[in-house]
Amino acid sequence: MRYLVINLFVITLLFTGCKKEKSTNDRILEIVKDSLKVEKPFNKILILQEHGCGTCNKKFADYIVDQKQNDSTLVILSLQNISGYINADEIKDVIIDRKQLFYKANVLNHSAVILMKKNEIDTILNFSDARVFNQNLEYLSER
Amino acid sequence: MSLSCQQDKRMKSIKTIVFETNNDIYREGFSDTEHSFLFYTTNGNNMLYKYYLNSDKRDTIDLAEKMKIKRLSRYNIFFNKEDYIVNYGHANVYNSVENVVYKLDSLSNYNGMEYTIALNNASSWKNNKLLLTNLFTCDLYGKGGDLTETFIACEQLNKQKPSYSILDFENSEVESSTITFKDIKPKTKDNSAEIWFKATAIYVKDVILYNNHFIDAVYEVDEAGSFKKAFSVKSKYTNFEEIEIFKSEDVPTVYDNAINYATQVNGILYDEYHNKILVVLVHGTKDIENNGEKKFTNRPFSILVYDTDYNFEKEYLFDHSKYDYHGVFVCKEGLIINANNKLGDAYEPQKLIYEIFSY
């Protein structure tokens, strides 16, 4: 009986020990690749959301329209009320996510830019604070 | 939230209503009238679309044209029968009956206050008077000094100011409430900032019922302004907790966490058909780190039923993610509830989906 209990304990430990928690980056990539079906590699992914800092989101929407979008930039409009923020027809590579998958999964709760390197997330620039919005935008322009 | 093993009371769903909008929805709701309707607005073109429940009739209102303004951006709207109120900017209220925009910041006794109808409802508009939640601004901002200290000082000041206002359309006057946050929470701490601005006020017969959403009590205010605790808000599923800020993190994060995860009331309704008072209570999320996705509208809520003597009668649980606690309205059959929660697993964009319940 004692061995049975020990064995059960060891097996439980093995199973729980092997279970690897997904990181936030893994979960973001999972949404991009599996849920939104983005197959082509991109260097920058711009994600516009309606949650978080309202002023930042409005400014970020303007930036998305004004920027010279190149082939390596993808825009994801992850918001229910797209017409309230932006005209999606003005954007070249755009994915519409009205189900707000990033916010729903609690992995990104505001607008952000994902900078990619070799198909992995290198940096996440958060546009959640109006006070540093311009600094983040400058950094983004330099990349 | 740990759900009890005891049998949960459920309201009986008697009908589902679905309308395709083919538009992004900005605001939506329901009006209980002779020919009841669902409505939604867009903020691309400022149009309001009405879908009548018992006929194929559709209707539209060009809000900007009605209000004689170029464009509406951030606004709130609710209907009482066929009439409606629009609140936009920090102090503008449009009343469709009078067809007038009331600019409350032009009143002689204006004190920098902001007003909102966001958490009020059709019962907040009665006898040509409208209840508005007060959102204060603070004179201390922009005068230098430590920002956190200024914020604390402002919060302390605001807690001692009137919680709501009564806009008297007939006389173009605004009267402040006697009740303040400090009255309902005298032990409010100096180093914490409970969320004093999320609140609902409605008319029930001759009195006003007022609740701060993070406090487990509803207050009755009579015509003279005297107030008393009417009843406690209690649930078998959840408890109210103290929310303290400045212990860690920044203020917006703590506010976000409170609104997304804390137990809170989201509205009080008066059901004149059953003569009941209903409280929409959202259940808090435990262990936020591991249940981060159980936030905002992706959480169970209850409808608590009280009689008009404030005796508790029943608690009905809504724990399916399709229901959105922001869309709970009284109708002749009982309640009509938004069943297309934007954070729900079954969310269908560009659709109005509502269910009618009897109780």
Could you tell me if A83 lies within 8 Å of chain B, comparing CB atoms? yes
**pLDDT-flagged residues of chain B (< 50):** 2-4
> Per residue in B167-225, pLDDT tens?
999 999 999 999 999 999 888 876 666 788 899 999 999 999 999 999 999 999 999 99
State how many domains chain A has: 1
Q: Do A84 and B44 touch (CB under 8 A)?
A: yes
Shortest Cα distance, chain A CAs vs residue B223, angstroms: 38
Of B220, B240, B214, B227, nearest in space to B178 by CA: B227
Residue ranges of B 250-279 with Cβ closer than 8 A to chain A: 252, 256
Residue % of chain A over a pLDDT of 70: 86
Of B193, B320, B210, B199, nearest in space to B257 by CA: B193
Could you tell me if A104 lies within 8 Å of chain B, comparing CB atoms? yes
- The residue assigned the tokens 């008393």 is B228
Q: Do A81 and B350 touch (CB under 8 A)?
A: no
How far the first Cα of chain A sits from its last, in Å, is 63
Domain containing residue A97: CATH number = 3.40.30
- CA of residue A23 relative to chain centroid, distance: 12
CB atoms within 10 A of CB B190: 10
- The residue assigned the tokens 């008077």 is B129
Beta bridge partners of B358: B12
Which of B26, B295, B342 is nearest residue A84 as measured by Cβ atoms?
B26
> Per residue in B292-332, pLDDT tens?
999 999 999 999 999 999 999 999 999 999 999 999 999 99
Predicted structure pTM score: 0.91
Is there a domain that residue A9 lies in? no
Question: What pLDDT, on the 0 to 100 scale, is given for residue B2?
Answer: 47
Of B89, B77, B151, nearest in space to B114 by CA: B89
Question: What pLDDT, on the 0 to 100 scale, is given for residue A12?
Answer: 56
Domain ranges of chain B: 233-329
pLDDT mean over A59-74: 89
Of B177, B278, B287, nearest in space to B225 by CA: B177
Minimum mean pLDDT range among A99-108, A130-139, B148-157, B287-296: B148-157
Residue ranges of A 50-79 with Cβ closer than 8 A to chain B: 53
Q: Do A81 and B25 touch (CB under 8 A)?
A: yes
For residue A31, the chain B residues in CB contact (below 8 A) are none
Question: What pLDDT, on the 0 to 100 scale, is given for residue B277?
Answer: 98
Is there a domain that residue A57 lies in? yes
Question: What pLDDT, on the 0 to 100 scale, is given for residue B253?
Answer: 75
Three-state DSSP at B178 gives coil
Is there a domain that residue A5 lies in? no
Could you tell me if B308 lies within 8 Å of chain A, comparing CB atoms? no
Is there a domain that residue A17 lies in? no
Note whether A49 and A111 are within 8 A (CB).
yes
Q: Do B343 and A84 touch (CB under 8 A)?
A: no
Question: What pLDDT, on the 0 to 100 scale, is given for residue A4?
Answer: 57
Q: Which domain holds residue A33?
A: 22-142
Is there a domain that residue A48 lies in? yes
- The residue assigned the tokens 């916010």 is A103
Q: Do A83 and B347 touch (CB under 8 A)?
A: no
